[in-house]
Structure 1
Amino acid sequence: MVNINLSGASINCLELCDFIKAKITEYNIDTTSICFEITETVAVRNLRAATDFINECKEIGIQFAIDDFGTGANFFSYLKNIPVDYLKIDGSFVKNIEQDEVDRAMTETINRIGHLLGKITIAEFAENQPIIDILNEIGVDFAQGFGVCKPMPLIKT
């Protein structure tokens, strides 16, 4: 799967979905291999436009992740109305879960609510094995960060 970050301007561009559909047809792309990521802030700023865009893309098989989740005001109320597949727990909570009980509780809470809503959870900033062990104990589905794998080129030359 390829995850592609989208900006707020992209979400608000009325022609974007038609452009995506045209490129999928032109290049015969398997839409189940695409996951667009939008930040919580972008989704909340224009909830209706984001929801419409997500639903239209999901109709053709594209998946969605909400990135940096947990940093905005009223984030749980918005999550109920955004039809994303993945919930990426903001790294500002994850990176300190070894030492900070509140950050651990926030991570646990976001993970639990995400699962109740049928979302797959991903923890950002999984920087070492102790953090990964805690995430596993909590029940987070996936981890992203240097503790999992350092960035590397996709294409070897």
Structure 2
Amino acid sequence: MYLIQSFKRLGCSFALDDFGSGMSSFSYLKTLPIDYLKIDGGFVKEILTDPIALEIVESIHRIGHVMQIKTIAEFVENDTIFTEIKNIGIDYVQGYGIGKPQPFILPVIKNSQEMDRNPD
């Protein structure tokens, strides 16, 4: 806990990943000073076909917001899931429906090239 608090004082943020995939997640939620709650993608990808998965995602989001924790939905694979997640009010999304993973260096190179063309 001390290590997390030390990093937070330096400006780092922390996320609890794959939340909902195990019962121990709830005890971590109560004890760790996290900033983001990443909802397990196994539930997210089923919200259109499984009412229980939808309720789980909505419940995790509500719990996160009661605790002032931002929520992130994993496995947002298409526009329909994106729309449902947006309607729930989840703060951030991640998945192929938003964009495919890419090496970090590509945006850096692109930005550098744009700066070379437009040196102000």
TM-score of Structure 1 vs Structure 2, range by shorter chain: 0.7 to 0.9
The answer to whether structure 1 residue 99 and structure 2 residue 49 are counterparts is yes
1:65 and 2:37 matched: no
Give the letter for the 1:121 counterpart.
Answer: T
Total equivalences in the alignment:
107
Query: Structure 2 CA distance, aligned partners of 1:89 and 1:69?
Result: 5
Amino acid at match of 1:62: C
Structure 2 residue 77 is matched with structure 1 residue 118? no
Q: Which has the larger radius of gyration?
A: 2
Q: Which residue of 2 aligns with 1:48?
A: none
Counterpart position of 1:129: 79
TM-score by length of 1: 0.64
Specify which of 37, 40, 56 is matched with residue 90 of structure 1: 40
Q: Which amino acid aligns with 2:61?
A: N
Looking at secondary structure, tell me which structure has more strand per residue: 1
- Cα deviations across residues 90-133 of structure 1 (Å, max 9, x unaligned)? 10100111101011100000000001001010000000010011
Structure 2 residue identity aligned to 1:66: L
Q: What RMSD, in angstroms, separates the aligned Cα atoms of the two structures? A: 1.4
Structure 1's unaligned 5+ residue stretches are: 1-50
Q: Give the share of equivalent positions with the same residue, in percent.
A: 49
One-letter amino acid matched to 1:76: F
